[in-house]
Structure 1
């Protein structure tokens, strides 16, 4: 079987996976629903920037809610050109996914047919690519840009031309713009250029180019009264939480990212085997330039970034590691005599990662979309029917802002900078602080808010809010909580909100449990 035939079959498999997932979601929702509310955060911000020139989760104020400024900006351009369509991220991700497969094909075709087949299939199935496309998030673009950065760096080391460096610098800017974790790897590229290649100017220049999106976006955010970094990085990042908290979160990352750790074991074996015959440390390092950069970049991600949440945070790591170990695996596979154990281990490790990443997602991907449909889409529809231009207190904010024009008080802090400032030292613990409760109390009362729809475990509401009812979803996998509580902010609106919930409950999915408090 020719490699182009294998490529066609893998593309066919990808298409079928996307088709069947859309069919599964459409069967209960009537349309495709993204498996993460975060996708609607990107859409909401992109819509507001395209239509109202406001970089924010609502059209009324700036908010540094996105953790991928370049992806949100790209969606805003597409919305401006083609109009506000909720499936623009799906189409854009599909195009990026096809580019990723094509780049992978061109890279892997230099190897044996066995290596080509195993690794091209692994890139699609272990990521897994269809899931990252269907999330409507930035991860396909980030993975594509990171692969291009590695290939550009490899090419620059081989030829060291000015054009090669300019290409590397440009792609580094894009990679950082899509996700700041790209800097983990680019930093070690700079270290390699500085200490191993003695190219001091190129090292510093590459670092400055890569930092450009961070510096520009940080300056804009500060100018609007926000943090230098996006709110999500401040509220979720593994920093400033003491040594014990740092180690605990890193251990949690290791547990959630066990699938990537398995691949990294192959990477470590590759580094030791390739360095074994070299006496000088400089030669050991230069022989393993790409594998060492990937290992060090992975280590920084393990320490400071996140894993999990629909296995998306580490998806790019899977592909990057696969690119790094492909040449080594090919040399192992092509040896007619040699270490049979090593050949077997590579295959077994890839199969284990397949079982850890792909197989659970066959069920969980559809379940996640079901959760979002049952909860976030229902909340958005409720607001659209009764409060589409009102002032709302909430703490999961994607769909409800995308489908409506509400004024928002986000008690989590992603969409409200004053809340983020109060919560920045909690590190995801949802501490019930007096300052936060007072801020919700004062803001809701002074600005005349109408209704609150919150996970009560994320933040306690003021005593003068009247609890009217709850909705509860079953088999919660992806939402921040299974129960959302409705409050009337003004006592005189209690009966009105209660009757609205009763009326709306008639059109909600049958397996959503609604409880009206009388």
Structure 2
């Protein structure tokens, strides 16, 4: 009895210590953010506000879009948006809700990983170390601060991959009901969940479980299929615009296909031109096979461990080849988290079984390789923590101020923008999305290659846009010269926004003086770090 109490006490101490390590960075970062944003809770991504505005309109107006009336498939996370909508309806629309949802999901993830470690007979000190590594490398505090769906993605990706792999070794015929639920969630929370389900279905086919394979695939993709058909009925694409517009098109020719394949094999899987996140994700393709080779003797008796390694490795290849990494360290987070857990379990359980004394060179070589492989992951996490507060400040100084300006002077007018999140969430104006996430005409034009300056100007004129707020670097000068530039706002130390400078253009010739007057009036409300420039000629 006394021993059981001691074990329970140690479990609680490990869990509480891990939760402190999770919450402490949150408190420190948010304290800095509040100091820089006049006490406001600001997320470091405009995408968070896209989820929130769609959720708000779904809760208040029963419409899926950034406006109360028109259907706009601008969110790539169906379940997360529905979840926010339900919470908005239950508790009222509040910007704190995404933060709370992510915090709760992170706490549950920590608890579930600890239970998994206990099941694997990992000691309490090692449990704490693994949990700290998960918190740092994922990095969980940054996912919480981002207010996006990726914490939930990490939670259910872990549940599916580890429980599915464990179930396969039982040789039971029927799939546990929980796996069907996890499958639906990981697909509807992020479309990358399709990678995980595809791998699982292939594994089932390999084990000659044909009916379970098709049943798991069908149930998992059902929410996406239902949403896709609803989108088609609403004159939208089967897939969300945000998914389609980010995908690389394939030219239907021999040269086009070979070029696409070359881009995957060379640019995406071996080079890292897009930064530290791509390099860190590519390193998973070395870390996982190395872990397997190092412990291959022990893994002979642990087929579930081998399947987990294979699962994450193939999923990493698919993520690099067909999806993205980065954009504030979130797209690859679920892969990093799962890798940290399985590699840590292998090291903790089996590292002592390797005969280091027989070859004295082996240990320093192993240490060097270990450091070489994990160093980009360390840099990735360090960059995430160091940039978090500044990213929130960037959004406050740019997107939030744009939305606040529109709310103050143009709350019922029609405005054209290229970043739709905060500007649509914080006011009631009609937003014309020139980038296409929430505008089918622009999305079709970009997809089919006729998004010319003339076409975009026609869209603006047809919608009777009052003025436009855009990044000059995102658009052709031929389009911008059709409008009258009246002002720019430039932020300092930009780490997250598409451009440090946003430009204000009067679309209607008679509206430029009013726009300048309103901008001049609002200037006193801007943070002092913003550089304002007017164009009166």
Q: 1:336 to 1:436 in 2, by over 3 A?
A: closer
Q: 1:342 to 1:46 in 2, by over 3 A?
A: farther
Q: Distance in 2 between matches of 1:235 and 1:403?
A: 25
- Which structure 1 segments of 5+ residues have no match? 427-432
Which residue of 415, 426, 435 corresponds with 1:412? 435
| 1:99 paired to 2:108 | yes
Q: Report the alpha carbon displacement of residue 448 of structure 1 after superposing the two structures with TM.
A: 1.7
Q: Distance in 2 between matches of 1:347 and 1:255?
A: 18
Matches within 5 A, 1:12-51: 12-29=20-37, 30-51=39-60
Q: Distance in 1 between matches of 2:161 and 2:447?
A: 34
| 1:145 paired to 2:160 | no
Structure 2 SS opposite 1:439: helix
Q: 1:293 to 1:236 in 2, by over 3 A?
A: same
The residue number in structure 2 matching 1:244 is: 259
**Preserved CA contact (<8 Å) 1:35 1:365:** yes
| 1:55 paired to 2:68 | no
**Preserved CA contact (<8 Å) 1:264 1:321:** no
| 1:189 paired to 2:200 | yes
Q: Report the alpha carbon displacement of residue 114 of structure 1 after superposing the two structures with TM.
A: 5.0
Q: Distance in 2 between matches of 1:255 and 1:347?
A: 18
Q: Distance in 1 between matches of 2:243 and 2:503?
A: 27
**Preserved CA contact (<8 Å) 1:266 1:346:** no
Structure 2 SS opposite 1:468: strand
**Preserved CA contact (<8 Å) 1:376 1:399:** yes
Which residue of 243, 263, 268 corresponds with 1:233? 243
Q: CA RMSD in A?
A: 2.5
Q: Distance in 2 between matches of 1:34 and 1:451?
A: 26
Q: Distance in 2 between matches of 1:362 and 1:254?
A: 16
| 1:483 paired to 2:501 | yes
Structure 2 SS opposite 1:376: helix
Structure 2 SS opposite 1:471: strand
| 1:199 paired to 2:209 | yes
Aligned length: 507
Q: Distance in 2 between matches of 1:270 and 1:351?
A: 12
Q: Distance in 2 between matches of 1:361 and 1:46?
A: 27
Structure 1 SS opposite 2:169: helix
**Preserved CA contact (<8 Å) 1:455 1:481:** yes
Q: Distance in 2 between matches of 1:348 and 1:481?
A: 35
Structure 2 SS opposite 1:257: helix
Q: Distance in 2 between matches of 1:504 and 1:227?
A: 39
**Preserved CA contact (<8 Å) 1:108 1:116:** yes
**Preserved CA contact (<8 Å) 1:275 1:285:** no
Q: 1:81 to 1:294 in 2, by over 3 A?
A: same
Q: 1:254 to 1:28 in 2, by over 3 A?
A: closer
Q: 1:298 to 1:253 in 2, by over 3 A?
A: farther
Structure 1 SS opposite 2:496: coil
| 1:213 paired to 2:223 | yes
Q: Report the alpha carbon displacement of residue 329 of structure 1 after superposing the two structures with TM.
A: 1.6
The residue number in structure 2 matching 1:2 is: 10
Q: Distance in 2 between matches of 1:101 and 1:180?
A: 24
- Which structure 2 segments of 5+ residues have no match? 1-8, 357-361
Offset from partner CA, 1:157-205 (integer Å, 9 cap, x none): 133557753211111001111001111122111111111x111111111
Offset from partner CA, 1:373-418 (integer Å, 9 cap, x none): 1100110110010111210100001000001112121111111111
| 1:123 paired to 2:128 | no
Q: 1:394 to 1:78 in 2, by over 3 A?
A: same
Q: Distance in 1 between matches of 2:90 and 2:148?
A: 20
**Preserved CA contact (<8 Å) 2:417 2:434:** yes
Structure 2 SS opposite 1:515: strand
Q: Report the alpha carbon displacement of residue 481 of structure 1 after superposing the two structures with TM.
A: 0.8
Q: Distance in 1 between matches of 2:222 and 2:453?
A: 37
Q: Report the alpha carbon displacement of residue 112 of structure 1 after superposing the two structures with TM.
A: 3.2
Q: Report the alpha carbon displacement of residue 360 of structure 1 after superposing the two structures with TM.
A: 1.7
Offset from partner CA, 1:69-123 (integer Å, 9 cap, x none): 1101100000011001011100111111100000011011222345423321111
Q: Report the alpha carbon displacement of residue 260 of structure 1 after superposing the two structures with TM.
A: 3.0
**Preserved CA contact (<8 Å) 1:46 1:79:** yes
Q: Report the alpha carbon displacement of residue 269 of structure 1 after superposing the two structures with TM.
A: 1.7
The residue number in structure 2 matching 1:430 is: none
Structure 2 SS opposite 1:32: coil
Q: 1:421 to 1:237 in 2, by over 3 A?
A: same
Which residue of 454, 458, 461 corresponds with 1:442? 458
Structure 2 SS opposite 1:26: helix
